[in-house]
Amino acid sequence: MSLKPTIPKHEHSMNIENAQVQMRKGILEFCIMHIISRGEVYASDMLDELTSAKIMVVEGTLYPLLTRLKNSGLLDYKWVESSSGPPRKYYILTDMGKQFLEELQSTWGELSDSVNAIVKKTAQQSADAQPADDSSKSE
């Protein structure tokens, strides 16, 4: 028992990276369904688009998510031969998926509004607390 001196130890503390990861969670699903809604794409296409939109995502996250969406009947796919490698799964939204996307769209809009309202309220209160500051008038 005197061996095993260095137990890895879970810190459970918060660092900025961790928090940024958290913030991205759940948004992914919405973005992916959006991309698929534009037409048939396969996973690497999605990775490219998300990466260029600065939304980080890796294979280990994307593939299981696509599988979950497929199993829930929101996506469908077909195999397509590739001229340069193994066949690809091209995804499309099902009718259910389209409806689901619309609901996610509303959720995103509302969430975004709610968060911005909180941010705005903070800014407003800062302005109140420091009237010497040259900020625009509160309403």
Considering the rule CB under 8 A, would residue 107 count as an interface residue with a copy of itself? Answer: yes
Considering the rule CB under 7 A, would residue 107 count as an interface residue with DNA? Answer: no
Per-position x/- string for 13-42, each x denoting binding to DNA as judged by CB under 7 A, each - no binding? -x---x--xx-xxx-xx------------x
Closer to a copy of itself by Cβ: residue 88 or 100: 100
The residue behind tokens 């497929």 is 70
Per-position x/- string for 34-73, each x denoting binding to a copy of itself as judged by CB under 8 A, each - no binding? xx-xxx---------x---xxx------------xx-xx-
Helix, strand, coil % over all residues of the chain, rounded to 5: 55, 10, 35
Considering the rule CB under 7 A, would residue 108 count as an interface residue with DNA? Answer: no
* CB-CB contact of 35 with 3 (8 Å): no
Considering the rule CB under 8 A, would residue 105 count as an interface residue with a copy of itself? Answer: yes
As a whole number of angstroms, the distance between CA 89 and CA 43 comes to: 7
Considering the rule CB under 8 A, would residue 108 count as an interface residue with a copy of itself? Answer: yes
CB of 24 to DNA, least distance (A): 6
As a whole number of angstroms, the distance between CA 14 and CA 18 comes to: 6
Coil/strand/helix, residue 60: helix
Q: Tokens for 15?
A: 């660092």
